[in-house]
Each structure stands twice: as structure tokens, then as C-alpha cells.
Amino acid sequence: MDFISQNLLTILILFPVFGAVATLAHQMFWKQESQLKWVTLGFTIVNFLLSLILVAGRGAQSANGFLYESNTPWIKAINTNFHFGVDGLSLWLVVLTTFIMPISILSTWHAVEKRPTAFYVFLLLLESAMIGVFVSLDLLVFYLFFEASLIPMFFLIGIWGGDNRIYAAVKFFIFTMLGSLLMLVAIISLYYLHLDQTGVGTFDYVTILHSLEVGKLVFAGSTGTLLFLAFALAFAIKVPLFPFHTWLPDAHTEAPTAGSVILAAVLLKMGTYGLMRFNFPLFPDASREWAFVFIILGIIGIIYGALVAMVQPDVKRLVAYSSVAHMGFVIIGMFSFTEWGMQGALYQMLNHGISTGALFLLVGFIYERRHTRQISEFGGLANVMPIYATIFVITAMSSVGLPFLNGFVGEFLIMIGMWKSAILPVSATANWNYISTMLAGTGVIFAAVYLLWMIQRVFFGKVTNEKNRTLSDLSWREIGLIAPLLALMVYMGVYPRPFLDTSEASVKAVQERVMHQAGGTVAKNGPSEK
Amino acid sequence: MMFPLTLLVTDLVTPNVSISSILPELVVALAGIVAMVYDSFFPKDRRVTGIVSLIGLLIAGVLLAMMWGDFQPVGAWNGMIAHDNLRLGFSFVFLLVTAMTILVSTVWVERENVPSGEYHALLMFATFGMMLMASGNDLVIIFLGLETLSIATYVMCGLRRGDLKSNESAMKYFILGSFASAFLLYGMALVYGATGSTNITEIAARVANANFPALLLVGGAMMVIGFGFKVATAPFHIWTPDVYEGAPTPVTGFMAAGPKAAAFASFVRVFVLGFPLIAGVQASGYLHDSWMTALTVMAILSMTVGNIVAIMQTNVKRMLAYSSIAHAGYAMVGFIGAGAAKSVVERDAAIASVAFYMLTYAITNLGAFAIVTLLGQKNDRRTEFEDYNGIGFKSPALAFTLSLFMLSLLGLPLTAGFMGKVMVFRPALQAGEPMLTLLVVIAVVNTAISAYYYLRLIVVMFFRERTSDWSAPKIPAPIVVALVVAVVGVLYLGIFAGNVIDRFSQPPPSGIASK
């Protein structure tokens, strides 16, 4: 038990890799393709259970404010270490990752016909990379996982995707890579800035943050802004923020169901998580200066995403564009730099993972039955598939933000946060914080419009297409895999305390660092105070 | 006036000769000679010459490792032979390149009835030339090494005598290569005229008060052209695609990895060590500024031209040729970083990073060429992108291995290519100058562009379906060995790069006094 708790994060990262090796070996020696999904499912469930230890053990922080911290040297020549740890920002994201994996594997039960071995191997490798992103506290190691997550996703879209999969896969890869490479330049520059000013070159996030807080490391001139922008671009593309979002509808639509679910639930969160973890604490001044740009882009994303979603003829594309709108909410919440807004953003990240993940699963169910996702092909499905229709409506409501479902809590917190924010200018005639909140608020209305309109056309009225008359309702497997998501939607909507409590301290630390510390020279209770 | 005379006499009687300091080079040359002689007696036997060459390379490798350790050569041919980490690091790369090339080319030697003795002997002489280029601390030695290398490669390009493209390749390379050599030689002569020495250490000392500073600048410029041609950087790259496409595939792989690295070794030695920036001396400032600017422009051009043109290629060999131009550009970023280094330690680390980069590039590229050779069939007929359509799951081992090499060339984490890129970008960023930071930004934007064509091969192999029949080729044992070495190398250098980086940046215990 000691061994597990000391190396828990390393185990969480490596376990899926072992799973991938086991899957390959299984296929090589037994050649029983039907057993593959069981093997994979087993590995992901065990990994999920292991990750629950994180939740049980929260509270026992190390001196740096991190749980389950471990630090293993990697390349001594350039002083980079496998430094892992979780805190309030990352804990639930790790659990979300391990939680969504078994569900997405269950969703592929009958869907993967070609090359199942490779499919499951890529899924498991993807899980490793995603957990690595959320727990890395060394910038180079973070970059490593951030990039590594691209490859399995690239193959998942490219091999098992829809008709336009090649275009979507390559676009996804190149967009993300361009952003993250500039981040690499910034990471190496940070190493040398630290070397020049303190005499020690390091990629270690905790060390760099500490140097910034005590004033040993100071960014002169425009350095801080440039570094901020290099990091922010990588994350903005991943989120995706408005002008960089064009890869997302393609990737989402073409990806196989499991791929879309993971993309929506976890991969997009890497962007918002990165902003919160790295951009804000490392470059507080630049974060404040540039906040208005991000808020404007976030609002554009909310409204534009919603408007475009409204006119989509394809259900999956509609859900994809709704992601753009939802992530816009997360962005403005974070950049409001109030505790409410940032807590709400973090909460909304989890919500979006659960609701949008569920929506993609539901779209996948109907696609497996009809091999089409065009809204015009459906109509009156509620008569034929009542259970499916019920679940779909609940999920859509959670996505819209109906009170007592999870989406409401997040969006409400974000809007309070933005309203109370002091980040945008206030003049005698106009308080831009209020105006932003109001504009963002329209997004909730739009979300109701596009989702409800879609539901009306797909589910209600008479059955218009004869092909739909014979569709079977959800099987027990399908209900079983969506049920945990539904339960969470309700639970998180009614009782958000456990989630918000866990992240409170970490969020507060980031918020204080951004708003109350001038230029990173005042040492105050930041997360890495020693 | 008796003193000079006695000096002359002692020099004649006990010349400053030390076989031990060039032992690895000699072993390689000897292996080449044995291969050649053996071939003239038993021309039918294809294997022995290859084995002899491999043994020679292995012994040379062991000797090199010893030179990095306790083995201390004495004397240095009057300062003509260097003994530093630049030489040892690069020499190690050359030995690896040649060994891999021999393994890879076995298929081709069998398939096309190549005179193997000739081929192996030429390969060994080329290696000897490359090693001299890395160890030469004197312009004359560097030139001799370069010519030994070049003449051997001219012939190797044309080894497929019946093929028009191969002949074209050899002819083009010969004519343009000779032209470039002439530039280089002229440059060397002018530098000699300005400084009165061909020894690089001496030149570095005399750059400060050269006879005619203008001569030095012109000489330096001509050498930039000469070396620029040999490393294949834009705008001196025009020969590369034609020569690479026409040459037999294993030879192409060899040329993209070995001679390129060798030219880099001399290029770095002459410019970084020979034309340093001496504080307060105007002439050295001019010279240093000029070559740094020239190289920056060349690096930017190489990366951009190489990557953009590579996107348009339909032939895998041509694509890899343009990608090698781009990679020369990336390596040059580290080279420029070495030129901008503020201390000797930083400079040595930067030089080591260039050597390390060439190692990662060589091992990845040779792996890729091994597979291209294998799939190419007789006369390299199957080297178009279309020929790779949908082979991914028909031959998963080969296809995934090739994908790994493509991702490493692209520079994704956990592969050698990533560590190589990090290492060469570091020195340029360390200098902290806006221009060099911009150079690195251009380099990473280029990396993103390059994703398009590296991924294309993966796309073609895995994401498309094959319409015509295709059966996976049988993989012969030597290729298996080469591929295993390449895969293990790519992953090892990507994950446990620390050891190798330490080794490369650590100078051997006893540097020889330069004169």
C-alpha cells in the first residue's frame, strides 16, 4: 500500500501502457479479438479505481501544496525530472479522465469492426498521455505528454473516423502542434531566464514559480508578455478559443464515438487547465493585461458557436459547435479572476466533459442504428425509443444549464464571477464587466434554442421516416454506460460542495497571485510557499 | 643561425608523428584496403567484404571509446589532428552511419548484383574521409578528408550502371561537387594568405591582426559556399533532390546522414573554432558578424525551402531529400548558437548539441531508408507515395516502424528527433538575442509545416485502402538488425538521452596541445 501511495501518479500513467502491451500480447498469442474489449475494459476500470485513491487521500498535501508528489530525475544534463503531483486544479480532471475511459470503451462494444487491437492500444496510450498532462509539474515533461496525446488521437480519427477523416486528422494534428511548439520555445527560454538570474537552469514548475514569487526571477520588458502569449496560443488552440476553433468541428465530427467523447471530455480541458495552471501563476501581469482579449474572444465563441450550432444539419456537428460555446464560458470565467468565476470555470470543465461526452455517446447510439446523423432523417423518435429520448432530453438540459443539473452550477458561478469582476474597465456610463456578463448570458438562451429545436425535430411529432419505425431502444449495456453520467449530472447539480471544496484552496491561490501580487515580487501565500 | 637548422634536423629525425592519435581512422582505411584486395581475389563472394568492413568499424568504435576514456595519445602531427569532443562525437556518428548502411544495403547488393567488394571498399574510404574531416585541425587535412569522401561518394552514386537516373545522379554530383570543392579550396587559400597559417588554432589566434582583413572575409565567404554545398543548405541545395533520387536508396541514406554530418563537423570547426569573436578586435568582429549573418540566412532559407518543397513531392526519396535540407537548417540553429556562445563551456555544449542532432537524424533517417530500400524492390521502382497506399495493416511491423521514424523526423516527444531539436534550439535561445530567438521561432513554425508531409506517409499507409495486390516483403536478417538498432536508438535517445548528451559534451581527458 505504501508503494502504491508513494508512486500513485506514476502508476496511473504507466498502468494503461501496461494495458496496451498486454492487449498486444493477448492478440499475438491468443488471437481472440472478442476478448480484447474485456481486457481493455479491465485495465481502464482498475485504473479508475486506483484514481479514486486520489480522491480519498485529498488533504495530505506536501510542502508545495501538492498531493502524491513524486520526483524522479529524467535527463540530468538538462535538469528535467518526472515531477508529478495533483492539487485542486488537477485532481478532478485526472478522475474525469479515468472515469470517462471505461465508458468510452463500453461505447465501442459493437462499433469497432476493423483492427480492434490497434484501436484499443491507441485508446490506452491516449489515457496515459492525458493523465500525464494533468499531473506533470515539470514543464518539459508536461510538453512531452501534451504532444504525445496527439499521436493516438491522430490515429483514432484517421483510421476509424468518417469519410472526411484524413483531412480532419491532419488538421487537428498540425493546428495543435503549431501552438505547442511555440510553447516549447517559451519553455526553453524560461529555463535560460532562470539560469541567468538565479544560476540554476530548471524546467521545474514549482521551482520557477517560487523564484518568481520571491523575486529571484523577474521578467524584464516585454519578456513576460511574449512568454505568456506563447503559452496562451498553445492552450487557446487546444480549448479551442474563437479564431483557432476551426479544427474542432472537423475533428469531432469525423472521429469515432469514443474519440469524440474523449476529445470533448478530456482533450479540450488540457487547454483550459494549462491556462489556469501555467499562464496565470507564471505570468500574472500579462494575464491581467490580456484578460480583455480572452474575454472578448470567449464571448464571440459563445455567441458564434451557438449561432453556428443552430443551423447545423448534422447532430454531431451541432454538439461540436456547442463545445465551442461552452468552452467560451470556461474562458470568461477563468479570466474574470474572481474566485467564483474561476471555481465556476473549473466546475464547468467537468460539467462539459460529462454532458457533452454524454451527448456524443447518445449521438453515437443512434448512428450505430441508422448510420446517419442528419436531423432531417429523423423525427418522432420519442415514439419508437422512449428511453433514449428521455435520456437525451435530460442530457441536453444539463448542457443548457437547467437548475438542479450540473450545467447550471457552473454557468451560474461563471456569470456571478464575471459580474463581480474588476478586470474590465468601468466608466460612468458603462461597466464592461456587466456588459460582458449580459452578452455571455445570451449564450444560455441560444443553447436552449439550438438544443431544444434539435430535440423537437428529432424526437417529437410523428415518425416521418419509415426506416425509423423499427429501431430498437437502448440495450442494457447502453443504459448502463450512460447511467453513471446521468447520476453525476444530477449529483453535481444538487450537491457541488465536494468538488468546489477540493479546488477552493488552489483556485484561491491562483486568483490571489494574479490579482494581488504586483509583478511577482511579493511573496504571499502562493501554492508553492515553502 | 644554428638554431633553426637543429630544429629542422630534429624534426626530420623524430618527426611529430603519432600513429596512436589517428588509430581509428587507420583501422577504417585498413579495413577498406582488405576488402578491396579480398575482392580482387574472390570477386564472387558477397558477404566477406561486408563482414570485414563491419569488424573494422567495430574496432574503430572501440578505439574511439578508449580515446574518450583513459587512452591518451601523444603528439599530434604538429597540431594537424584535433582531439576533442567535436571529433570524437562526430566520428562516432560516422561509424554508426556506415555500419547501418552496410547492413541496409545487403538487400540491394544481393538484388542488383552490385560488385560488393568495390562498394564496401568505397564506403570504408568514404568513412575514412569523414573521420579525417572531423579530426582535422588543419585546413589541408580537412580538404584531403573532404576529397577522399567526395570521390568515393561520386562513384557510389553511379553504382547502378545500367540505370540512367543513377548515372545522372553521379554526373551531377561530380560536376557540382568539384565546383564546390574548388570554392572551398580557394577560400582556404585566401584565409592562408590572410593569416599565414592553415592550422585552425593558429588562424583563430591570428584573426585579430590578419594581414588583409578583406582577404579573410572573402576567404570565409568562399568557404561558406563550399561547406554550404556539402551540407546541402539552401541556396546551395539544388543538386540534392536529383542526386538523392537517382542514387541507389542505401547510398542516398548514407549521403543524407554521413557526408552531411562530416561537412558539419568541419564547418563547425573552421567557423566556430577558427573564426571566433575576439573581444575588442574590430576585424574579428566583422568576420564573426558576417558569417553568423550568412549562416542565419542560410538556416532560415534551408528550413523554409526544404519543408515547403517537400510538401509537394510525390516520391518518398525526393521527400526525404528535401527533408534532409530542412534538417540541415535545424542543425544550423545549434551551430549558430555555438557561434553566439559566451563561454567555452557553453560553446562546447552547443557543438555537442549539433553532433547529437546529427546522431539522432542519422539513426532515424537510416532507419527510414532501410524500409524504403526494402519496399523499393529492384531498381527502386516502388518509391512513390502511391506505392505505400494501405500497406499499414498488411505489414504492421514495417509500417509502424516507419511511422516511428517519421514522427522522430518530425520531432515528437519520446523520440530521438525531439531531444535533438530541444538540444539544438537550446544554445540559440541561451544567447538571449532577439534575432536568435526569432530564428528558433522560425524553426518551430517550420517543424509544424513539416508535420504535413511526414504525416502524409502515415496517412497513406494507414488511412487509405489499397486497391491493388500487395504482399509484404520478407525482411532479411541484416535489415532486421539495422531496424532493431534504429528503433532502439530512436527510443533510447528519446527517453534516456542523458547519457549520450553527457558523453558528447564532455571533452576527452587529455586534449593535445595544438602545437
Q: pLDDT tens-digit profile of B281-329? A: 777 778 888 888 999 999 999 999 999 999 888 888 889 888 999 999 9
Whether the CB of A170 is below 8 Å from some CB of chain B: the reply is: yes
Q: Is the pLDDT of residue B265 over 70?
A: yes
Q: Report the distance separating Cα A173 and Cα B235, nearest Å.
A: 30
Asked if A143's CB is within 8 angstroms of B445's CB, the reply is no
Asked if B505's CB is within 8 angstroms of A173's CB, the reply is no
Dihedral sign for Cα atoms in the order B45, B46, B51, B54: positive
- The 10 Å Cβ neighbour count of residue A327 is 30
Distance from the Cα of residue B222 to its chain's centroid: 20
Asked if B393's CB is within 8 angstroms of A174's CB, the reply is no
User: What range defines the domain where residue B294 resides?
Assistant: 18-505
Which amino acid, one-letter code, is at B429?
Answer: L
Q: Is the pLDDT of residue A528 over 60?
A: no
* Mean per-residue pLDDT of chain A: 85
Asked if B412's CB is within 8 angstroms of A75's CB, the reply is no
Whether the CB of A72 is below 8 Å from some CB of chain B: the reply is: no
Asked if B422's CB is within 8 angstroms of A188's CB, the reply is yes
Asked, for residue B392, whether it belongs to a domain, the answer is: yes
Tally of domains within chain B? 1
Whether the CB of A184 is below 8 Å from some CB of chain B: the reply is: yes
Give every CB contact of residue B41 below 8 A, 6+ residues apart in sequence.
Answer: none
Would you state the pLDDT for residue A526? Answer: 36
Q: Is the pLDDT of residue A385 over 60?
A: yes
Residue numbers in B near A118 (CB within 8 A) = 393, 396
Whether the CB of A55 is below 8 Å from some CB of chain B: the reply is: no
Contacts A–B by Cβ distance under 8 A: 95
**Which one of B444, B452, B463 has the shortest CB-CB distance to A181?**
B444
Asked, for residue B134, whether it belongs to a domain, the answer is: yes
Asked if A184's CB is within 8 angstroms of B426's CB, the reply is no
| A432 or A32: which leads in pLDDT | A432
**Which one of A154, A169, A192 has the shortest CB-CB distance to B429?**
A192
DSSP state of B18: -
Q: Can the peptide bond before residue A240 be classed as cis, meaning omega within 30 degrees of 0?
A: yes
Helical pair A165-198 and A223-238, crossing angle rounded to 10 deg: 150
Question: With helix as H, strand as E and coil as C, how does B205-246 read?
Answer: HHHHHCCCHHHHHHHHHHHHHHHHHHHCCCCCCCHHHHHHHH
Asked if A144's CB is within 8 angstroms of B429's CB, the reply is no
Asked if B426's CB is within 8 angstroms of A77's CB, the reply is no
Asked, for residue B484, whether it belongs to a domain, the answer is: yes
Residue A517 confidence class, pLDDT cut points 50, 70, 90: low
Q: State the smallest CA–CA distance between residue A77 and chain B in angstroms.
A: 6
Residue pair B351/B338 in contact by the 8 Å Cβ criterion: yes
Which amino acid, one-letter code, is at A237?
Answer: I
> If residue A85 lies in a helix (H) or strand (E), which one and from where to where?
strand A80-86
**Which one of B429, B447, B462 has the shortest CB-CB distance to A189?**
B429
Whether the CB of B451 is below 8 Å from some CB of chain A: the reply is: yes
Q: State the smallest CA–CA distance between residue B460 and chain A in angstroms.
A: 9
Residue B9 confidence class, pLDDT cut points 50, 70, 90: low
Give every CB contact of residue B283 below 8 A, 6+ residues apart in sequence.
Answer: B207, B208, B209, B210, B213, B216
Would you state the pLDDT for residue B300? Answer: 93
Asked, for residue A302, whether it belongs to a domain, the answer is: yes
Q: Is the pLDDT of residue A71 over 50?
A: yes
Asked, for residue B4, whether it belongs to a domain, the answer is: no
Asked if A174's CB is within 8 angstroms of B463's CB, the reply is no
SS3 B462: helix
Asked if B497's CB is within 8 angstroms of A158's CB, the reply is no
Would you state the pLDDT for residue B74? Answer: 55
Residue B387 confidence class, pLDDT cut points 50, 70, 90: confident
Asked, for residue B514, whether it belongs to a domain, the answer is: no
Q: Report the distance separating Cα B114 and Cα A324, nearest Å.
A: 60
Whether the CB of B441 is below 8 Å from some CB of chain A: the reply is: yes
What are the backbone angles phi and psi of residue A72, rounded to the nearest 5°? Answer: -115, 130
Residue B71 confidence class, pLDDT cut points 50, 70, 90: low
Asked, for residue A36, whether it belongs to a domain, the answer is: no
Asked, for residue A59, whether it belongs to a domain, the answer is: no
Mean pLDDT of B143-158: 91
Would you state the pLDDT for residue B513? Answer: 42
Q: In angstroms, what CA-CA distances link B294 with A109, A263, B240?
A: 60, 45, 20
Asked if A169's CB is within 8 angstroms of B422's CB, the reply is no
Would you state the pLDDT for residue B73? Answer: 57
pLDDT tens digits along A445-498:
888 888 899 888 888 888 887 787 888 888 888 888 899 999 989 898 888 888
Q: Report the distance separating Cα B455 and Cα A177, nearest Å.
A: 12
Whether the CB of A28 is below 8 Å from some CB of chain B: the reply is: no
Residues A159-197 as b or e (16 or more Cβ within 10 Å = b): bbbeeebbbbbbbbbbbbbbbbbbbbbbbbbbbbbbeee
Asked, for residue B357, whether it belongs to a domain, the answer is: yes
Asked if A192's CB is within 8 angstroms of B430's CB, the reply is yes
Asked if A181's CB is within 8 angstroms of B447's CB, the reply is yes
Q: State the smallest CA–CA distance between residue A336 and chain B in angstroms.
A: 31
User: What range defines the domain where residue A342 resides?
Assistant: 289-524
Tally of domains within chain A? 1
Task: Give residues 461 to 490 of B whose Cβ lies within 8 Å of A.
Answer: 462-464
Whether the CB of B199 is below 8 Å from some CB of chain A: the reply is: no
- The 10 Å Cβ neighbour count of residue B200 is 27
Asked, for residue B197, whether it belongs to a domain, the answer is: yes
- The 10 Å Cβ neighbour count of residue B491 is 15
Task: Give residues 263 to 282 of A whose Cβ lies within 8 Å of B.
Answer: none
Q: Is the pLDDT of residue B60 over 80?
A: yes
How big is chain B by its Cα radius of gyration, in Å?
22
* Mean per-residue pLDDT of chain B: 85
Q: Is the pLDDT of residue A370 over 70?
A: yes
Whether the CB of B42 is below 8 Å from some CB of chain A: the reply is: no
Q: Is the pLDDT of residue B381 over 80?
A: no
Q: Report the distance separating Cα B285 and Cα A62, nearest Å.
A: 53
Whether the CB of B400 is below 8 Å from some CB of chain A: the reply is: no
Which residue spans within A92-235 are E strands per DSSP? none
Strand partners, B309: none
Q: What's the half-sphere exposure (Cβ side, CA atoms, 13 Å) at B170?
A: 18
Asked, for residue A297, whether it belongs to a domain, the answer is: yes
SS3 A193: helix
Would you state the pLDDT for residue A112? Answer: 74
| A523 or B115: which leads in pLDDT | B115
Whether the CB of A192 is below 8 Å from some CB of chain B: the reply is: yes
Helix and strand numbers (H, E) in chain A are 23, 2
Residue numbers in A near B505 (CB within 8 A) = 77
Among A58-72, B187-201, B469-483, which stretch is predicted with the lowest mean pLDDT?
A: A58-72
Q: Report the distance separating Cα A285 and Cα A253, nearest Å.
A: 38
Would you state the pLDDT for residue B358? Answer: 92
Closest chain A CA to residue B438: A185
SS3 A158: helix
- The 10 Å Cβ neighbour count of residue B143 is 20
Residue A520 confidence class, pLDDT cut points 50, 70, 90: very low
Residue numbers in B near A152 (CB within 8 A) = none
Would you state the pLDDT for residue B15? Answer: 60
Asked, for residue B7, whether it belongs to a domain, the answer is: no
| A527 or A272: which leads in pLDDT | A272
Residue numbers in A near B448 (CB within 8 A) = 174, 177-178, 181
Would you state the pLDDT for residue A522? Answer: 37
Among A219-228, B459-468, B486-495, which stretch is predicted with the lowest mean pLDDT?
A: B459-468
Q: Report the distance separating Cα B404 and Cα B375, nearest Å.
A: 17
pLDDT tens digits along B333-357:
999 998 888 888 888 888 989 999 9
Asked if B498's CB is within 8 angstroms of A77's CB, the reply is yes
Mean pLDDT of B398-410: 91
